[in-house]
Amino acid sequence: MRMSVPAAVAALAIGLALTATPAHAAAAVFVELNPSTAPAGDEISVRASCDDNLKPATVTAEPIGDVTVQPEFGFLTATVRVPAETEPGDYPVRLACPDGGGVATATLHVVAKVEPTRGPATGGGGTAGSQVPSILVGGGLAAIAAALVLGVVSVRRRRLG
């Protein structure tokens, strides 16, 4: 028995759809950190997903301890501060979904917090501490005074002449 081309294409599409779609499509189980690299003392956001994002889950990591992620906008979220005394290094983060719904892992990279001791060397010296700015201010005031005197003299000449 021969099939027409449109019927064969439709049958092929239906067959592919039936074999590609599982009977129970599970949601992705994951945990994300934003940012995943942070200095000690900074806040990070945790976003996770389990099969059922309607129940809270637990995220565990050595520097932050146990954090409960709460349902919000279809995901499980929380904000947590990395303790200031945390040593730089890589720390595994583990999501445990409720009712054995799955496990996911990520890595938190803690870096040393570095504070600059002085500004960048950009040249120019406009903010350098010396006597030069006071001389420039005095010279500018003298130039303004000279301009005012010349303006008054030129106005008086026009009236007399």
Convert the pLDDT of each residue in 85-138 to its tens digit.
889 999 999 999 888 778 999 999 999 888 778 777 776 665 555 555 677 788
Answer yes or no: is 132 within a domain.
no
pLDDT at 70 over 60: yes
Q: How many domains does the chain have?
A: 1
pLDDT at 7 over 50: yes
pLDDT in tens, 14-69: 554 544 444 334 458 999 999 999 998 899 999 999 988 888 999 999 888 899 99
Contact 27, 53 (CB under 8 A): yes
Q: How many residues does the chain have?
A: 161
What distance, in Å, lies between the first and last C-alpha atoms of the chain?
A: 118
Return the closest-CA partner of residue 53 out of 76, 69, 79.
Answer: 76
Answer yes or no: is 52 within a domain.
yes
H or E element, residue 70: strand 65-72
Which residues neighbour 59 within 8 Å (Cβ) at sequence distance 6 or greater?
31, 46, 48, 66, 67, 68, 69, 78, 93, 94, 95, 96
Answer yes or no: is 97 within a domain.
yes
CATH number at residue 44: 2.60.40.1930
Answer yes or no: is 157 within a domain.
no
